[in-house]
Structures are given as structure tokens and as C-alpha cells.
A = this chain, B = another copy of it.
Amino acid sequence: MLPVKMCISASAASRIIFQCLRFYCQKPPKKLRICEAVSSSDMGTNVKVQGWVRSVRHQKQNLFLHVNDGSSLQSLQVVASSQLNHRLLTFGSAVEVSGLLVKSPSRRQEVELQANQIHVVGECNPVDFPFKVKERHDLEYIRQFPHLRCRTNTFSSLLRIRSEATTAIQLYFRDKGYVQVHTPVITSNDCEGAGELFQVEPAFQEKQEEDGGQPFFSVPAYLVVSGQLHLEVIAGAFPGVFSFGPTFRAENSQSRRHLAEFFMVEAEISFTQSLEDLMKVMEEMFRSTTEHLLAQCPEDVALFHKHVTPGHNDNVDLMMKSSFNVITYTEAIDILNRSSQKFAFETDWGCDLQTEHEKYLVKHCGNIPLFVTDYPYTLKPFYARDNLDKPLHTVAAVDLLVPGVGELCGGTLREERLDLLKTRLALAGLDETYRWYLDLRRFGSVPHGGFGMGFERYLQCVLGVDNIRDVIPFPRYSHSCLL
């Protein structure tokens, strides 16, 4: 801080003279990110920072700014003589500040910047700017401004968390020797989730007509609903493979858990014969990613747990210190039928579990993640491995349900037995379409299985965010595709 009293001690005066001398004699200021500046122990260094103003406070002789550059949640306090004030120095404006890093006299921060130069790089009219200084806008409000919401503390924390979670998941799989596969977005597979497919065609039909009316790809092409079948192809030559990318559903839904474009982590493991193996990977991935996030982004996660969903850290603690529960689908139906709660949807054996059921089951089992295994044969797609347990007749499928969200992951052992798969595909009239898939079982077939995790739902679960649109940079859903 600049001296506020006019009469200063001799030692203070000499210190100021020394600092001024130092400033004029030394090399150009060292450019630092804000995260480096606030954690620096290099007091007296001449530095330059660049960022956006988060607050401005004038006193008679001094000017206090907080400058943030997105390198961390923390802003750097800048202290300057009020002579450096400028009418364009407002909340939201972009600035470049040079000066000396000094120990802050305040307990609120270790370090502050004594500015000797402040340059407003880009102005920001506070009347037009939709966010207001020192106001904590809620997620719904900031969602209206997809091109600006990253400039709020909450959303910039979310983006850092999302980036770090991406790294954590990729590191988890890499450490275990999985190969990352870029499964395609455009596919000619049209059978899975048929009712919810997006179709792809060149925007300008003239082109097609020149081409004799043939579709661009010669066959109808869609956006993938899952990379699983493509991952299974590659799993035919590797011990384990994974993908991490966008998937699509043309679902006409305004729910808080669905998007038309969302990210999926999918893994496929060769030579796997038990659901336990799959559950182990799902649980380990969840834990290792969450541990990584809590360790690498403690302040960003704390912002959510303090201001967005107060108390949610207790839920996360509970999930992290407990082993995940496991019940069969049959046990789940039994629990639902013995419950006194009235459900909107039926709970007969053979019915699919609805969100209300999933949430009840998770609560009933102690509010920690819950695996539900061995679903009815008729509920799961053709590739699910038959448990051959007639008359019950189930398949080796497992869903992971988590507090607040419901279904987070879904996985199955895949039917690797050529004869069984062939019969099932033939019954559905799909044996010609999936000839290539049958080939995978014809040439060096191995027992294998895999799962997919909705990445946005994972973030909802860990951060406690209610609406899925608030955990993705550019949400797409029916009637909305902004930017």
C-alpha cells in the first residue's frame, strides 16, 4: 500500500526511494499470470499482469482494484495512487497493470500489486454489461448470456473444473494402459436409439442434385448416440480402449438431466468375464477423477459447495469414504414394491427403472452410489450378454446410480458368442446390417464388456449442480442452439 500518512519515517522514505530506483534501473517488468502473482514470494519484483477488473474501489488518495485473468479463481489486489484512476476503469474492463509485488498489509491476501502504471486495454460499459459488480448472479440468469457467462466467477470456475476433470479421466485410463480412440461423430449405424437420431446432410441441396440425388455419403448418415460399437471394433486388438467425446440425442426434452449434445466417456475392456470387473473400473474412475479434482481445484470446487449448492461437500465426502453399493435389478424391484412411497410409474419386474425409482433406490441404500445389475433381457439392447437364467432371463448389464442425478453410467458384458448374437440379430431383422459386428465374433472373439459415463452428469453429481445446462460451455437442447 502507498503511504497514507503524509509524514513518513526515515526508513520508510529510504525504502520508497530504493524501490523507485529499483524500478527505473531494472529490466522491463516480468509478465506474470495472476495465479503466479498471488502465490509469489518474490516481493519487490517489478511485474506486469493482464486481466479483467472484478472490482474497483476509490478512496481519497488510493484506488483499489481486483484483477482476474482466469488462471485461478483468485484475483490480485492492485493498489494505486488515485491519480492513476481513469473513467474507463470499470468492472469488466480489460487492463494491463505494472508495478511492484509487495506483501499485503491486509489479512485477506498475502500479496498485492503497487501499481505505477494502469492501462485500460478494453473498456466495458457498466450499464450495458449484463453482470453487475459484487452481485452474485444465479446460474439461470447468467445462462442467458452464453457468450459472456465465462466472465463470472462461477462459470470460470466451472470451466477450470471441466478442463481438469477431462485431464483426470484421460490420465486415469492412460495410467492403466488404455488406448484413447477417436470414435466418429458421423455414422451410418441407425439402429440404436432409433427414435432419437439426428440426420446429417450437406446444407446446400444443389450440390446433391448435381450428384444425381445421391446422399453425400451414399448412405443415410447420423450423429452417433454412443461410440460403443466403434470402440468394440478397436477392442478387438487391444486390452482396453476408451473414448471421450460428444454424443447426440434428438430428444424433445426440457429436462435438467438431458442435452441434445453431451459428452460421454466410454471404455471397452477385452478379456473381461464379470460385471465385477466393469464395476471396479467405474468406481475407480469415479474416485480417481474426484480425488484429482478436489486436489487440483480446491477453490473452484469450494465455490460451488459454498455458494451454489451449500453443504454439498458433505455429500461428496460421504460418497468418497463409502464403498459403492451393489444390488440386482430383481432386488431393486423388491425394494420399490415394499416401499410405502407412491410412484408415478409401475414397478413390476420387467419395467424399466425411472428417475423417481433411481433416486429412491439411492436414498434407500444410504445416499451413496449404487450399482444395479442383471436387468431383464427385454430391457437391454441386442449386444447385452445373455445370463441364460430362464425363466427369469436377465442380461449381464449394470447401471451406476448416484445421489441427486440418478443414472450416471451404464454398462454391459457384450454377447461374444456368435450363435447367440446371430440368433438375436436375425430375430430383429438386423443380421445383414450388423454383418460387420458379427465378423468381430467370427475372427478371434473374446469375452469383453464396457460402459459409458455421462460427463455432464458426473459434474452435476460432484458439484451438486441441478441443471445440466450449467455444466457445459454451450448447451444444445430442443429449441436452443445459441451461437
Contact = CB atoms under 8 A, between A and B. Distances in A.
Interface of A: 33, 35, 50, 52-53, 69-71, 92-94, 96, 121-125, 128-129, 146-148, 150-151, 156, 159-160, 162-163, 166-167, 170, 174, 177, 179-190, 194-204, 207, 211, 214, 216-223, 229-230, 233-234, 236-239, 245-246, 248, 250, 252, 260-261, 263, 270-271, 416, 436-437, 439-447, 472-474, 476, 478-483
> How many copies are assembled?
2
Nearest to A435: B147
29 contacts: A33-B177, A33-B239, A50-B271, A50-B446, A52-B444, A94-B444, A124-B442, A128-B443, A147-B437, A148-B439, A150-B237, A151-B237, A159-B179, A170-B170, A182-B473, A184-B261, A185-B223, A186-B481, A187-B481, A187-B483, A196-B202, A198-B200, A200-B200, A203-B220, A203-B250, A217-B478, A217-B481, A245-B246, A246-B246
A147 B252 CA distance: 33
Contacts of A185: 185, 223, 246, 248, 261
A441 B128 CA distance: 13
B184 A160 contact: no
Nearest 10 A-B pairs (CB), nearest first?
A70-B238, A122-B445, A217-B481, A202-B250, A197-B203, A199-B203, A163-B180, A94-B444, A184-B474, A150-B237
A413 to B, nearest CB: 14
A201 B229 CA distance: 23
B162 A474 contact: no
A92 B270 contact: no
Contact of A234 (B150, B198, B271): B150
A94 B445 CA distance: 6
Contacts of A125: 442-443
B202 A199 contact: yes
Contact of A436 (B128, B147, B441, B446): B147
A167 B163 contact: no
A245 B436 CA distance: 27
B245 A151 contact: no
A237 B50 CA distance: 11
A216 B260 contact: yes
A219 B53 CA distance: 35
Given A187-B481, A197-B202, A230-B483, A444 B151 contact: yes
Nearest to A189: B483
A126 to B, nearest CB: 10
A159 B181 contact: yes
Contact of A483 (B94, B166, B229, B473): B229
Contact of A474 (B128, B174, B183, B445): B183
Given A167-B170, A217-B476, A50 B150 contact: no
A478 B439 CA distance: 25
A179 B72 CA distance: 11
A183 B166 CA distance: 13
Contacts of A128: 442-443
A184 B476 contact: yes
B122 A416 contact: yes
Contacts of A436: 146-147, 483
Contacts of A237: 52, 70, 150-151, 156, 159
Contact of A188 (B239, B252, B481): B481
Contacts of A200: 198-200, 223
A439 B147 contact: yes
B188 A482 contact: yes
A179 B202 contact: no
A239 B71 contact: yes
A372 B281 CA distance: 48
B478 A216 contact: yes
Given A159-B179, A245-B246, A483-B229, A197 B188 contact: no
A181 B163 contact: yes
Given A50-B239, A217-B260, A217-B480, 16 more contacts: A50-B270, A94-B444, A122-B444, A147-B439, A150-B237, A151-B237, A159-B179, A166-B182, A167-B174, A182-B472, A186-B481, A188-B481, A203-B220, A207-B252, A217-B481, A219-B481
A476 B166 CA distance: 26
